[in-house]
Amino acid sequence: DIQLTQSPASLSASVGDRVTITCRTRQSISVYLQWYQQKPGQAPELLIYLASSLQSGVPSRFSGRGSETDFTLTISSLQPEDSATYYCQQSFSPVHTFGQGTKLEI
Amino acid sequence: QVTLRESGPALVKPTQTLTLTCTFSGFSLSTSGMCVSWVRQPPGKALEWLARIDWDDGKHYSASLKTRLTISKDTSRNQVVLTMTNMDPEDTATYYCARTPPPSSSWYDFWGRGILVTVSS
């Protein structure tokens, strides 16, 4: 299985801050990388697909970049409701995998 | 409107076999490129991808769990079934099913609410 390594594991930021979360793989996955947001007690929600495409209905303060082995999720101006855990997920292989998550506290 | 709902036992004993059913509506698993997957999450831990079944009955499993997992579908009933053998307390988790739409079959756009399965004697 393709391993995904997210960093940092957790971070604390303030409303209005710009934050970036990183997801790395050891092998190239082209742009087959997604980002999800999960709040306590809820199922994950899709934010970004294919590295940089914004899912319908997701605020434009969320953006994704990257290709091959290095990817980032950026939240341009943090809002209180962005407090959550964020996961990356690869789909280059038919055996999908998730990163270990980044917990964001605001 | 796309919905998915997981069902099955809330409690299983160690060594037993777990059978979970994902019942969905608003899409057809016979549509080219459509897939349904299972993902689990132990309490306080990360998401773990388990298995996927494709519109053409292709099946894919997590390497670490493939000897214990079987995924199947009943297209006419809009259901996907996951079985996991030899359950262990470490398999205690919330189990989710999720849809992967065409064309690229890459991302999960709709999820069920999840079902918490506890493994305990």
pLDDT in tens, chain B (121 residues): 999 999 999 999 999 999 999 999 999 999 999 999 999 999 999 999 999 999 999 999 999 999 999 999 999 999 999 999 999 999 999 999 999 999 878 899 999 999 999 999 9
Q: Is A50 on the interface with B (CB under 8 A)?
A: yes
Residue A67 distance to chain B (closest CA, Å):
15
Q: Which of A1, A43, A98 sits opposite B112 (nearest CB)?
A: A43
For chain B, the straight-line distance linking the first and the last C-alpha, in angstroms and rounded, comes to 39
Chain B CA closest to residue A90: B106
Q: Is A9 on the interface with B (CB under 8 A)?
A: no
Structure tokens at B8: 């099955």
